[in-house]
Amino acid sequence: MARKRWVRLWTHETLYGTTSKELLPDERCIWFSFLALAGESPVEGVVCIAHGMAYTDKQLAQLLNCPLDLVQRAKDKMLQFEKIRVDGNETIEIVNWQKYQSEYSRTKQYLPQPTKASTRKSTRKSTRKSTPRAEVEEEEEEKKSRREGELAAAALPSAIKSAYENAFGMLTPISHKEVLEACGIYSEEWVLDAIQEAVSYGAKGFRYVVRILERWAKDGRQDDKKEQPGEKPEDSPEQFFKRYGHLMKKQVSND
């Protein structure tokens, strides 16, 4: 299932429904965040990193930038009022997700009822023109969803997962996919070393790691040469210009 760019928030139910009575204001913020995470998730309606891979409470607190005890308190309340279910893998499923996120099932009672003649006419038209295209689009969407599911189902090596989270923070479904793709191309050692090098340059995201890996694959790794006894380590470009930049400027002015 493709990830949603937005989820539906029903105004009447939000203002006057049971949620406002069951959850405190700060707990409702966690509830709405869970809805957003369930829409962004690779498994629609489930708060998880990937298929069978749940967020811990600590990860959720980091992701939502809120206290850990608030996440735990809100989660307990949601379980109590049967707003969520938690399975054996600790993944969080939103109860009645399809009921509230399906546009047709919620709005069909308000739609004008078509006449029999217009129904027959629109049915013939849609069958003749729209159905083949819709079927193709649906098939492509299913293939894309299947590929994403297979990719998300694969687990990252624990060393790489730990190195990533220490360097860049918690894994999200999107970053999980990026790291997994890199692991499918490069060795675990290379990925770990590239993360370490990216951190040394102050990189803030995994895309910098990918660029390092691509450069190594194209030009070879310069750090494969071991330093000889008594030999000074080679300067980085930034260190080189900091140390010798004034001499280069002086030489240019003399010329």
Span 8-37, pLDDT tens digits: 887 887 888 888 889 999 999 999 999 999
Give me the helix-helix angle, 25-40 and 57-64, nearest 10°.
Answer: 100
What whole-number distance in Å separates Cα of residue 172 and Cα of residue 152?
11
* Whole-number pLDDT of residue 231: 42
Confidence band of 131 (pLDDT split at 50, 70, 90): low
Owner of token pair 């405190």: 24
Residue 221 CB burial class (10 angstroms; 0-12, 13-18, ≥19): middle
Evaluate whether 11-101 and 155-224 have a shared fold: yes
The domain segmentation of the chain, as residue ranges, is 11-101, 155-224
CATH placement of domain 155-224: 1.10.10.630
- For residue 164, what are its two tokens? 């990533």
Instruction: Output the average pLDDT for the chain.
Output: 76
Q: Is the pLDDT assigned to residue 64 strictly greater than 70?
A: yes
What's the rounded mean pLDDT across residues 217-228?
Answer: 65
Q: Is the pLDDT assigned to residue 124 strictly greater than 60?
A: no
CATH placement of domain 11-101: 1.10.10.10
Closest alpha carbon to 152 in 43, 36, 4, 38: 43
- Bridge-based pairing state of the strands 84-86 and 92-94: antiparallel
98, containing H or E segment: helix 97-101
Confidence band of 147 (pLDDT split at 50, 70, 90): low
What whole-number distance in Å separates Cα of residue 14 and Cα of residue 10?
6
Contact 8, 100 (CB under 8 A): yes
Other CB atoms within 10 Å distance of the CB of residue 196: 13
Residue with the bigger pLDDT between 111 and 162: it is: 162
Confidence band of 232 (pLDDT split at 50, 70, 90): very low
Q: Is the pLDDT assigned to residue 214 strictly greater than 80?
A: yes
pLDDT, tens only, 163-196 = 998 998 888 777 888 888 888 888 999 999 999 9
